[in-house]
Structure 1
Amino acid sequence: MILITGATGTIGSEVVRLLAARGVPHRAMTRDPARATFGPGTEVVRGDYDDPGSLTAAVTGVDAVFLVNAPGTAAPGVHDKALLAAAEAAGVRRAVKLSAIGTGDPRSGSFSGWHAPGEQALRDGPPEWTVLRPTMFASNFLWWASYIKESRPVPDQYGGGRQSVIDPVDIAAVAVEALLGDGHHGRTYTLTGPEPLSVAEMTAIVGKVIGRDLTVRDLTRAESREFLVASGIPEEFADGVLEGLDFVRTGGNTTATDDVEQILGRAPRAFEDWARDHRDAFA
């Protein structure tokens, strides 16, 4: 039995789908099961990090857990530690954590330490552990859709900086292998796409897929901050996000690894593959 936290999110929902396709018993944790929409093969359980009893129930009878916690949901590591404590008491034997590229590297900004306490709690506990550190999700660029449909230039917050964006499908596939397979204990995997690309290059790829010539507009750092706040990023988080953007601007996130290929036995999906899968969002 596999417990998936963050089961309604980008990666968690794909992990649920892959486990269901394999016929692996799994349990999707959500704060509000009544609003969850999963297939008949998925067991849904209520789980609230502020309710220890719900976590105990969620991990009962579980062999492995998938930990997903996004920055800003609580103080760093608090939710991970709460679930790991319940998992340890229940005798869970394996845990896989979704972290982020650059964790522990102060050059990538103040958010670089957010996953560090959770990673350390994982390493300190008795379950077999694996840490996944993916780079930027390709799906994070779906927000371009409104600009493209309205024939407006796509904003470039990265100043031409490149990053090896990854298809979330690949992250979920690696997570499933780490949850089910052997040989991943004690490993930290950096998950990337096949090559670093700039916003201009990715926009050109989307344009190719939908058959249109698209344009890009570079944003200054000041414009990027205004853009972040206007798009709903809280003021107190904006500067931390800007630090991450600066890291990309200066070439800090161009890393491309072969970890996906080593685990899945195939190359990571290209950005163009992802764009074709999501053509309708942009066209």
Structure 2
Amino acid sequence: MCGRWQGVGMILVTGATGTIGREVLRLLAGRGMPLRAMTRDASRLSSVEDVEVVRADFEVPETLRDAVAGVDKVFLLTAPGASVPEHDLAMINAARACGVHKVVKLSAVGGRTPANDGTTPAGWHAPGEQALADSGLAWTALRPSAFASNALRWADAIRAGYPVPNLTGTGTQGVVDPRDVAEVAVEALVGAELDGLALTLTGPDLVSVNDQVAQLSEVLGRPISTVDVPLDAAREQMLASGLDPSVVDVAVRGSQLVRDGGNAVVTDDVQRVLGRPARSFRTWALDHRGVLLDPQEPRRTAR
């Protein structure tokens, strides 16, 4: 049974309290779409207008059927970690059972390849991508590179005048603005042109941590330095902070991949979908200058 909710052309947004999920909600609301937001804590969405809020938990499959009942399309965003495959499959199964037409999944750069074994972010997402491809549903997979908003993790160090920790050496990435990812997600949800596609979403150019910090220094008008952090030391620090060892392993592997040039990828997928160039890291920094300088500003990670 798929619960009591009803909607006409309803779109369900999961991960609705994060940076991308909130932006997807905002953009869809601006188009007048009927919306439902899924969360475990409805109070975190109390200020969002014109959105139906449903409490549900990926760990409790029966609540997912309530969440998708009467829904036409789902934006599927699951929190990073080893539970991503389980959570993706639970939502895809609920969507199939309850008559959902389309799922747009937020995946990770690298996507679905035979080499993915669950020890990288792409590996976490590969089973969900495969399940969607096999589901009979309309689907789109979005594979963003590193998020520009990850620079918010450096805000405390910048304000205190400390060096920004650099785990990726001189490695470069096609750092992408989360707002571009949200805009592409909305296009995938409201139209059919992107059905059956896996899109690699990047910024317009390759940048290293040193490049990002140099741009932040110019934008914020203050000298900012970096300090190289050996990955063995980074692993110890992350474990000491209480992070799950599986998450730490993936973070370290990902940092090594970038160090080795393995994520030096730029595509034009954002431009092809949105009809304009992808936003640069400098643009993101200019638009978030206040957040980086003021500790009272809201701070959210990319997801």
User: TM-score interval w.r.t. the shorter chain?
Assistant: over 0.9
- C-alpha separation between the residues in 2 aligned to 1:125 and 1:55? 17
Residue 222 of structure 1 is matched in structure 2 by 232
2:18 to 9, 18, 23: 9
Runs of at least 5 residues in structure 1 that lack an aligned partner in the other structure: none
Residue 138 of structure 1 is matched in structure 2 by 148
Runs of at least 5 residues in structure 2 that lack an aligned partner in the other structure: 1-9, 294-303
Contact 2:112/2:129 (<8 A) preserved: no
- C-alpha separation between the residues in 2 aligned to 1:108 and 1:180? 33
Contact 1:96/1:132 (<8 A) preserved: yes
Residue 77 of structure 2 is matched in structure 1 by 68
Per the TM alignment, residue 148 of structure 1 is displaced from its structure 2 partner at its CA by 0.8
Contact 1:107/1:247 (<8 A) preserved: no
Per the TM alignment, residue 207 of structure 1 is displaced from its structure 2 partner at its CA by 0.8
SS at match of 1:95: strand
SS at match of 1:113: helix
**1:31-42 correspondence runs (5 A):** 31-42=40-51
- C-alpha separation between the residues in 2 aligned to 1:233 and 1:102? 24
**1:46-57 correspondence runs (5 A):** 46-57=55-66
SS at match of 1:136: coil
1:248 to 258, 261, 271: 258
Contact 1:167/1:271 (<8 A) preserved: yes
Residue 178 of structure 1 is matched in structure 2 by 188
- C-alpha separation between the residues in 2 aligned to 1:108 and 1:61? 35
Residue 206 of structure 2 is matched in structure 1 by 196
- Over 3 Å counting, the alpha-carbon distance change for 1:78 and 1:222 in structure 2 is closer
Per the TM alignment, residue 235 of structure 1 is displaced from its structure 2 partner at its CA by 3.3
Match for 1:64: what amino acid? K
Residue 120 of structure 1 is matched in structure 2 by 130
Residue identity over aligned pairs, in percent, reads 50
- C-alpha separation between the residues in 1 aligned to 2:164 and 2:43? 38
Per the TM alignment, residue 108 of structure 1 is displaced from its structure 2 partner at its CA by 10
**TM-align CA RMSD:** 1.8
What is the number of equivalent residue pairs in this alignment?
282
Deviations 1:224-263 (A, max 9, x none): 2233334443334323321110100011111000000000
Residue 101 of structure 1 is matched in structure 2 by 109
SS at match of 2:179: helix
2:88 to 68, 72, 80: 80
SS at match of 1:266: coil
2:270 to 253, 260, 275: 260
Residue 229 of structure 2 corresponds to residue 206 of structure 1: no
TM-score w.r.t. the length of structure 2 is 0.88
- C-alpha separation between the residues in 2 aligned to 1:79 and 1:239? 20
Residue 161 of structure 2 corresponds to residue 155 of structure 1: no
Deviations 1:64-85 (A, max 9, x none): 00111123262x4211222122
- C-alpha separation between the residues in 1 aligned to 2:93 and 2:142? 20
